[in-house]
Amino acid sequence: MATTTSRVGKRGAIVIPADLRNQYGLEEGTLVITEAHENGILLRPAVACPVEIYSPQRRAEFLLSNAVDDEDYRRAILEVKEMGIDPDTIPHRGPGD
């Protein structure tokens, strides 16, 4: 594997040689992960995925709709009530629906 030398510029910018950028699909704006590694710094392409933050009502819907049997459904109802939510106000399917 051929090696090249680059300089660290202002704000820590490093020029990655074009052949390596092409080989690993690094284009302007590509997200990367940097990790401390025993031999130096490991730089890898990264992927960002959106994260959905569920409201208490949505969590209650999951609990109630995913109950597998009557006992599990009763536990879900209790847990939803502990969240301060009336289970009857949450659109859902109970077991067997």
Which amino acid, 63?
A: L
79: CB partners within 8 A, 6+ apart: 63
Mean pLDDT of 59-71: 94
Where in the chain are the domains?
Answer: 10-45, 56-89
60: CB partners within 8 A, 6+ apart: 80, 83, 85, 87, 90, 92
- Give 45's strand partners: 32
Beta strands in the chain (DSSP E): 32-37, 40-45
- pTM of the predicted model over 0.85: no
Could you give the angle at which helices 56-65 and 70-82 cross, rounded to 10 degrees? 170
pLDDT digits (tens, 9 = 90+) for 7-54: 999 999 999 999 989 998 899 999 999 999 999 999 999 999 999 999
On the question of pLDDT at 87 being above 70, the answer is: yes
